[in-house]
Amino acid sequence: MRQIITLKDDWFFAKNKQEQIPQILPENWERVSLPHTWNCLDGQDGGSDYYRGACWYVRELQISELPSDTCIYIEFLAAASLCKVYVNGTQVTEHEGGYSSFRVDITAFLHKGLNLLSVMTDNQHYDHIYPQVADFTFYGGLYRDVRVLTVPKTHFCLDYYGSEGITACSEIKNGNQVQLSLHAYVSNAKETDQVLFSIYDQEGSLIAQTAQPAAADTYTEFFLSDVHLWQGVQSPYLYSIKAELYRHNEVLDQVTVRHGFREFHVDPEKGFYLNGILTPLRGVSRHQDFLGLGNALTLAHHEMDARLIKEVGANTIRLAHYQHSQDFYNLCDEMGFIVWAEIPFISRMSDTPDAHQNCILQMKELIYQNYNHSSICFWGISNEITIGANTPQLLANLKDLNALAKTLDSSRLTTMAQLSSLPMEDEQNCITDILSYNHYFGWYTGVLEDNEKWLDTFHQSYPQRALGISEYGCEGIISYHSDTPKAGDYSEEYQALYHEHMAKIIEERPWLWATHIWNMFDFGCDARKEGGVAGRNNKGLVTIDRQIKKDSFYLYKAYWNPEPMVHICSKRYGKRTDSAIDIKVYSNAPEISLYVNGAFFKKEQGQRVFLFRNIPLKEGFTTITAKSAFCCDTAVFEKVSEPFSAYQFVEDASETGVTNWFEHVDLNKERELTFREGYYSIHDTAREILENKEASDILVNALSSLIGYNLKKSMLAVMGDNRLCDTASALPAEEAQTEKAMAYINEKLQEIPK
């Protein structure tokens, strides 16, 4: 029978280059346990300087015996991002891509007694490995489990893209009658070997069983009546499917997967349907990192995240921007979240031919490894990929990826997340089954009302294209507060105001097939320095340590979670100078009563957002309580004589671009594009330009003016190795205007020696 041992402890780690493959246990190295990343601290502290390079892990394997009828595999649930594995000094495999699982049979390289397992992982930039550039930290390391699998020579296949060796697919025929199709893939089967399929309900009762020969095409179908459907968060009912490989009277190997019977489709005019029931998908996006841990999370961390997402009331999660842990996909199955799963084809396409093959590999691994997760309904093929450039080759590659996904799994829908500036009429929008856009109107550019204007224009222009919002959000830092919040002040109040607007317009547009907040949690991006916070994207509804729920979290809880709740906003804005203040309350109750120092003040009726004006503050402290029929919340405010200066973020003007840089420039003037050697130009990368103060001023001012938003230099650092000229297609200005602007930018850069 299959045996699984997790190699958690007794690893030795070195963060430096090794001249040769370790031949003995390096006991002078740092001792670590898995999961582990070397970027848990420097990947979240800002400066765009976290360590990216090759590191080594070494561990002994004790092998007591090596029976001739046994195979021993080593399995890596993820290793970021280039990984080479050695056993007793001999390389046994190499894997490219930092988010998927891979295995290798190491039986032939082992001997009885102590063996040495050496693993090199490398998260430096490679032109042929995705992601190339993105707005998050590319943590390195063995940040998920490493396991040893011991199986008989005849076993369920372990060699096919990290898959499970069994697939389950179902089709609802009539009401709660289903056809279940099962496929098993067996390595080294003998003619008499059999696979026994057993179906169990969620209570553990056996409901169906059959056997098929293992040496042939091991396929079977069940027709089941009176099944309990998997109805998302309302009823995430899962059956268990056990496949047992047996020879005569002995079970050789066993695999169990879970399955939820469900069907779904998207109507461009009405939205998402699950089992024939209209189910508006309203939820969040999630990154897989945590404060002080990077992406080296345990099951307990994944469970914490899932519980918080359930508490906010979301019914869908976009698991961005790469393959996530099997632990989290399992939790989504159990809790009923509808999942968008995607590959890290993000921000920029590499022109290196091998890069597309890496994209294809990661798509195959994503689908084969996660085929049996009933929560997954959508395969994502890219995210904001036109930031780098929009080229004919990119279009061809996207079509190739979409066709691949449909070939590997025709039961699910394909989708992609488009950059906000991509024109509505672009051919990319016709590739996938459905699509979504990332929009930040009211934060990076424009005003809040631009969101509904854009959405309505698209829906009216292309009514047969199912449209969603794959990202929307704004930074909210709980230190900052304002009575007059505005975009760019980073205040908790503006983040709440932004989401109040977005939640309302989304509810008014049920035809949006799915909407995903960016982001559920603050996450690490070492290149960023936003609102005085280095190394972090602060758009989360919850802080990166999962300790503090921002006011915007409670807004969505009022919208999405039917459990009675009342929340007083701006509790962290405790010191006030005014004699009377306004109090905002979020609740899913129809009526809220407000009490000031225990005395009834006023009752308001409404929906989700209740505003009480002119609440008097006495000298010292005033206690305010908001009550519904079922629950209440209390906050304390202190009247002070002087404003508390720490509530206001003061921007460093030298780090921020201006939006009128072209104001006195004649862009219609003919300019020859020159590229003098030894001087900066638009052919340089953002990373190179940002190294020079004068050149970086040109970059931030020019791009701020082109998009109409005061960019920060730290934000441009996420462009990394993107050439400035390649970003032109991603800008919102018209092509001709952008070309003229680029010519002027190049002229100014050519005046600056390197």
Which residues have a catalytic role annotated? 384
Taking the C-alpha atoms of residue 272 and residue 278, their distance in angstroms, rounded to an integer, is 6
| Both tokens assigned to 666 | 């004649």
3-state secondary structure of 300: helix
The owner of tokens 């969040």 is: 284
Rg (CA), the chain: 28
| Beta strand spans in 320-434 (E) | 338-342, 376-383, 413-418
Show contacts of 12-18: CB within 8 Å, 24+ apart.
Answer: 12/57, 12/58, 12/59, 13/38, 13/55, 13/56, 13/57, 13/58, 14/55, 14/56, 15/51, 15/53, 15/55, 16/55, 17/53, 17/54, 18/54, 18/56, 18/120
Q: Which DSSP letter does residue 323 get? A: -
Compute φ and ψ for 215, nearest 5 degrees: -80, -20
| Both tokens assigned to 558 | 């009022």
| Both tokens assigned to 292 | 């002080």
Instruction: List residues bridging with 122 in a β-sheet.
Output: 54, 82
Taking the C-alpha atoms of residue 18 and residue 698, their distance in angstroms, rounded to an integer, is 41
Q: Which of 328, 296, 33, 7 is nearest to 149 (CA)?
A: 7
Q: Give the total residue count for the chain.
A: 754
Q: Which of 306, 184, 294, 171 is nearest to 233 (CA)?
A: 306
Residue 157 CB neighbour total at 10 angstroms: 15
Single-letter amino acid code for the residue at 397: N
Q: How far apart are the first and last CA of the chain?
A: 64
3-state secondary structure of 593: strand
Taking the C-alpha atoms of residue 497 and residue 489, their distance in angstroms, rounded to an integer, is 12
Q: Which of 231, 339, 330 is nearest to 283 (CA)?
A: 339
Show contacts of 267-273: CB within 8 Å, 24+ apart.
Answer: 267/466, 267/511, 268/463, 268/464, 268/465, 268/466, 268/467, 268/511, 268/513, 269/463, 269/511, 270/510, 270/511, 271/510, 271/511, 271/512, 271/513, 272/338, 272/513, 272/514
Single-letter amino acid code for the residue at 699: L
| Both tokens assigned to 352 | 């290196």
Taking the C-alpha atoms of residue 114 and residue 60, their distance in angstroms, rounded to an integer, is 6
Q: Which helix (H) or strand (E) holds 385?
A: none
DSSP string for residues in 458-497:
HHHH-TTS-EEEEE------TT---SS--TTS--HHHHHH
CA dihedral (329, 333, 336, 338) positive or negative: positive
CB 345 within 8 A of CB 99: no
Taking the C-alpha atoms of residue 667 and residue 25, their distance in angstroms, rounded to an integer, is 65
Residue 430 CB neighbour total at 10 angstroms: 11
